[in-house]
Amino acid sequence: MSTSTRTPLIAVTMGDGAGVGPEVIVGALLAPETAAFCRPVVIGDAARLRRAAGVLGVRPEVVTVPGVGEAVFEAGRINVIDPGLLPEDLPWGKVSPVAGHASYEYVRLAGELAMSGDVQAICTAPLNKEALHAAGHVYPGHTELLAHLTGTEEVSMMLSTSKVKVIHVTTHIGLIDAVARIEPGLVERTIRRGEAAIRGSGVARPRIGVCGINPHAGENGLFGYGEEEEKIVPAVERLQAEGMDVHGPLPADTAFFLAGRGDYDLIVAMYHDQGHGPVKILGLEAGVNITVGLPVIRTSVDHGTAFDIAGKGLADAGSMIEALRQAAELSSARGV
């Protein structure tokens, strides 16, 4: 049965071909529920997807198409735009500059399709940063790469699970550098991006909790050197004065406990591990990474290339299914 032409077209990038990306894509695109909410077109390698299908013990029809307009959406069929960048004998679970370059090209092509309006969203399988860098593409990750490709000056990473959503003020930099980079303007802009994203998902007035930097959010100067008062409080007070339902700075452990029981729609984390740790405990199997602030919609699985299990048929497609679902929902909410 054909998928409705009213569902969003989504470019699905294959990520690093040596990782679990091909497997989770095959698993997600063959899941019956996926066809109900989107029309996915893979930007990747057709032969690699067939090999992934083999390790999963399934036999989809993997069809190479020249463009999105030529894709046909039927049960059991996977449409692929294949630039022909991977060797057939690429080993599973090994860092490869060839695979790193291919992962970059998949994202670049998907970005072009999204910017031109040929697809309504991008959904990315994981790339490997070491392989990406070995290929000469020195970006910390998808978030920064897509910002560069779309000419966007500043974006934020949001992690989304059924229990909690977290947006990060800083992401792929060292902790000392993160503390130095945090300042009221960046905190304010991050909260605004997060609030707009949550409103875009259907929450009329999001409740937002903002984490501190130090243990116990500094506990009135007991820990740290006044970072909360200097770097966070001015942003929170400014947004509160505008009527935004924002609270903080809060001790991070308290903030995530409150969010887990439903008190907040969004938590603002100051640095990478402050946000990622709780999210991966609360919902890794269905976690989704959303890049907020881009001119296009981009979601991703919330896991890495998992080289240790790649090619073994063990990867769980749940996060990819959820990433596709949220990409489709964001597309519909935005009206693209």
Mean pLDDT, to the nearest integer, of 98-113? 98
Question: Quick check: 336 pLDDT over 70?
Answer: no
Determine the CATH number of domain 156-286: 3.40.718.10
Name the class of domain 1-152+294-336: alpha beta
pLDDT, tens digit, 9 for 90 and up, residues 129-149: 999 999 999 998 898 999 999
Amino acid identity of 190?
T
Task: Say which range, 71-80, 106-115, 281-290, has the weakest mean pLDDT.
Answer: 281-290
Question: Quick check: 283 pLDDT over 70?
Answer: no
Among 136, 161, 132, residue whose Cα is nearest residue 303? 161
Residue 99: half-sphere exposure toward Cβ, Cα within 13 Å: 27
Mean pLDDT, to the nearest integer, of 326-332? 89
Q: What is the CA radius of gyration of the chain?
A: 20
Q: What is the pLDDT of residue 286?
A: 63
Residues 6+ apart with CB under 8 A from 226: 218
Mean pLDDT, to the nearest integer, of 178-197? 96
The reply to whether 156-286 shares the fold of 1-152+294-336 is yes
Q: How many residues does the chain have?
A: 336
Mean pLDDT, to the nearest integer, of 34-49? 97
The pair of three-digit structure tokens given for residue 220, joined into one six-digit string: 């009135």
Question: Quick check: 285 pLDDT over 60?
Answer: no
DSSP state of 314: -
Among 126, 116, 155, 114, residue whose Cα is nearest residue 44? 126
Q: What is the pLDDT of residue 3?
A: 46
Residue 146, classified by CB atoms within 10 Å of its CB into exposed (0-12), middle (13-18) or buried (19+), is: buried
Question: Quick check: 45 pLDDT over 90?
Answer: yes
Q: What is the pLDDT of residue 265?
A: 95
Angle at 191 between CA 186 and CA 194, to 5 degrees: 125
pLDDT, tens digit, 9 for 90 and up, residues 198-252: 998 889 999 999 999 999 988 888 898 999 999 999 999 999 999 999 999 999 9
Whole-prediction pTM: 0.88
pLDDT confidence of 122, banded at 50, 70, 90? very high
pLDDT, tens digit, 9 for 90 and up, residues 4-26: 558 999 999 999 999 999 999 99
Instruction: Provide the 10 A C-beta neighbour count for residue 265.
Output: 20
Average pLDDT score over the chain: 93
Among 223, 216, 227, 249, residue whose Cα is nearest residue 183? 227
Instruction: Count the helices and strands in the chain (H runs, E runs).
Output: 13, 12
Mean pLDDT, to the nearest integer, of 102-127? 97
Mean pLDDT, to the nearest integer, of 255-279? 93
Query: What are the residue boundaries of the structural domains of the chain, listed by start?
Result: 1-152+294-336, 156-286
